[in-house]
Structure 1
Amino acid sequence: MIDPMIRSVPLSFFRPLRQAVRDLPRWNPVRIAATIVLRRAALANRHHLAGRLTEIRPLDEPMLSFEAVDSMVMDAVFWFGVRGYEGTAARIWTDLCQRAESVLEIGGNVGLFSVLGARASSGIYTAVEPVPVVAATLRANLARNGLTRVEVLEAAVVSGDEVRNVALNLPDEGRKMPVGAHLVDDVEVVGRSTRTQIVVPGLPIRQLADGRDLIKIDAEGIEAVLLADIRALLVDRRPNLLIEVLPEAKRLGEMLAALASEANYQIHVLPAWGSDRIVTVPAASFTSELPRTYNSKDVVLSTGPLN
């Protein structure tokens, strides 16, 4: 239940609680209590936070600046910080980008990982985002942080060899910046809401992935189709991969297990909350439901151990 009284509280009142989330270990009872209060504050300020701020500056990454927009991602970054929201994935992505020569990020959304990765990368960086209003925010966030080298492609990513128009479902999330937009066809995760559908360009993943040594895919259910289309490339060149794996994506789980075995990848699960410990699992035991047992949906396939 939303408490309008909480919305009337100045945002500065919550700063000590936000600092506790930033500074204290995850198991600390003070941090746990602060998190509970901040969740209530976040709910009370849903849709209103953007109007109360001129920018979003995460306490744990104060050098970064983001557009104050109606976005679940930006809300979470304000209240809990980058690591409080994304857990170990933010740190690992930064480390991977620092070592990569050519990065491809599929599903950039408003640009949180794009900003983190592009700041660390000295090589080629391409971010792909199909929703026009979200892609505009991604570009604005890159510009706010002086990241002018990033190529932003306003498109979806598809299998096959030809550029083609595809239907994109915009879910009814009650946000101006949706996070769950997904292709209508070939999507493994089903049963989502629909606000409207739009037509966007679809760019072939084979062309985008060629020559990359780091690929991130957060494509809301089409990951298995995309990876299958570039499987030969992955086995041959073994780029590091960061993939969102939802529990329902059973084909994706099976594909990642088989790919790790065939290409001699290590599989690492990156907890979002509850722990900062990266969990390395045998390929034979990996399934799409396994990351959830570690409070995660982010999985890295790497050619070596993670830092």
Structure 2
Amino acid sequence: MSGRIDGAIRRAQYSLRYVVFSAYYAAVRRNHRHEWYAPKKRVGSASFRSYELVNKHGDDVLLHRLLHACEPGDVVYDVGANTGVYSLAVAASEPDTRIVAFEPNPDVAAQLRANVDRNGFGDRITVREEGVGAATGTRRFHRSTYDELGSFDARNAGAWEASVRDEIDVHVVALDDVVAGVGADNTGEGEDGELPPPDHIKIDVEGYGLEALRGARETLRSARPTVYFEPHTEGGEDRTADVASLLRSLGYRIRIRPDAWVCTPKTEPGRSSD
């Protein structure tokens, strides 16, 4: 009897969470589209406005580590930018930084642009409506009823109580190609399309992080950026051991906290590390 009662309680909790989250994402979509209300957000000493209704991710460990490490003139690649809290916070905290924000979902990328424009950060933040992966090309992207869970894996897009809303083909770039200026016609970065190599890379891509890192091997070897990585299962499979192995093979030290890896270069690439 108690098992049935516990099951009923869990189902009720899931149903309530689905209603609340669905209502929130629907409200946020409309708010971005019409640009009605952009409440002020505060992250550490940084202050900015966005059309998100709450300060989502403002307390993230990775974000605070990134803000602490950024210096004037640094270049930040925000991979899986979503509506832009990391990019906006960095731009507000260090006006002389340059941020490149990658977001493959066209609807969410439009929300990101609205937030960049609201703060007048267009000279600091470049929005690229692209995914990041192991190779440059095209890939099927699954949009979720919870916008934040959109993923290249349908199982990740349907996590929690969400479901896949639809599927679209999106452009995907390897970060090594971005730094080398390959595919410059798609960048909007001027005639050559080149971007400066990153000092910091934040990666939060709903289970696709290993692929993003595989496409950045040369950049990690040469530029030696700090990597701020949020681990996720990939379609229900835990690939974090593969991620750790790749980073360590490139001479990175990994400091692990719950849902947050800060990865710093400690040796020359090619040398062994613990």
Query: For the superposition of Structure 1 and Structure 2, which TM-score range results when normalised by the shorter chain?
Result: 0.5 to 0.7
User: How much does 1:234 deviate?
Assistant: 1.8
Is the Cα contact below 8 Å between 2:22 and 2:145 reproduced in 1?
no
Match of 1:197 in 2: 167
Is the Cα contact below 8 Å between 2:37 and 2:51 reproduced in 1?
yes
User: How much does 1:237 deviate?
Assistant: 3.4
Q: Secondary structure at the match of 2:100?
A: strand
Structure 1 pair 190–141 and aligned structure 2 pair: CA distance change class (3 A): closer
Does residue 43 of structure 2 align to residue 63 of structure 1?
no
- Residue in structure 1 matching 2:150, options 174, 181, 201: 181
Match of 2:220 in 1: 234
- Give the aligned residue type for 1:250: D
Structure 1: distance between partners of 2:208 and 2:199:
21
Deviations 1:158-212 (A, max 9, x none): 322x4x3321101233xxxx0011124xx89586431111122222322225522
Does residue 102 of structure 2 align to residue 140 of structure 1?
no
What does residue range 27-176 of structure 1 map to in structure 2 within 5 Å?
43=20, 46-47=23-24, 54-58=37-41, 63-68=47-52, 74-75=53-54, 77=55, 82-83=58-59, 86=60, 88-98=61-71, 101-121=74-94, 122-149=96-123, 150-160=125-135, 162=136, 164-173=137-146
Does residue 241 of structure 2 align to residue 265 of structure 1?
no
Structure 2: distance between partners of 1:123 and 1:245:
26
- Give the aligned residue type for 1:82: G
Structure 1: distance between partners of 2:141 and 2:255:
30
Q: Secondary structure at the match of 1:166?
A: strand
- Give the aligned residue type for 1:171: S
Structure 1: distance between partners of 2:140 and 2:152:
6
Is the Cα contact below 8 Å between 1:100 and 1:213 reproduced in 2?
no
Is the Cα contact below 8 Å between 2:176 and 2:217 reproduced in 1?
no
Structure 1 pair 60–43 and aligned structure 2 pair: CA distance change class (3 A): farther
Structure 1 pair 238–170 and aligned structure 2 pair: CA distance change class (3 A): same
Q: Which runs of 5+ in 1 are unaligned?
A: 1-39, 69-73, 271-295
- Residue in structure 1 matching 2:238, options 245, 250, 264: 250
- Give the aligned residue type for 2:172: G
- Give the aligned residue type for 2:264: S
How many residues get paired?
A: 220
TM-score normalised by structure 2 residue count: 0.67
Structure 2: distance between partners of 1:202 and 1:130:
8
- Give the aligned residue type for 1:255: D
Q: Which one has the bigger strand percentage?
A: 2
Structure 1 pair 136–205 and aligned structure 2 pair: CA distance change class (3 A): same
- Residue in structure 2 matching 1:217, options 190, 203, 222: 203
TM-score normalised by structure 1 residue count: 0.61
Give the % identical residues: 22
Q: Secondary structure at the match of 1:245?
A: coil
Structure 1 pair 208–98 and aligned structure 2 pair: CA distance change class (3 A): same
Match of 2:271 in 1: none
Q: Secondary structure at the match of 1:182?
A: coil
- Residue in structure 2 matching 1:206, options 157, 162, 176: 176
User: How much does 1:119 deviate?
Assistant: 2.2
Deviations 1:7-47 (A, max 9, x none): xxxxxxxxxxxxxxxxxxxxxxxxxxxxxxxxx9x949943
Structure 1 pair 127–99 and aligned structure 2 pair: CA distance change class (3 A): same
Deviations 1:249-294 (A, max 9, x none): 532x223322443333221234xxxxxxxxxxxxxxxxxxxxxxxx
Structure 1: distance between partners of 2:179 and 2:166:
30
User: How much does 1:142 deviate?
Assistant: 1.5
Structure 2: distance between partners of 1:98 and 1:262:
27
Structure 2: distance between partners of 1:43 and 1:188:
21
Q: Secondary structure at the match of 1:300?
A: strand
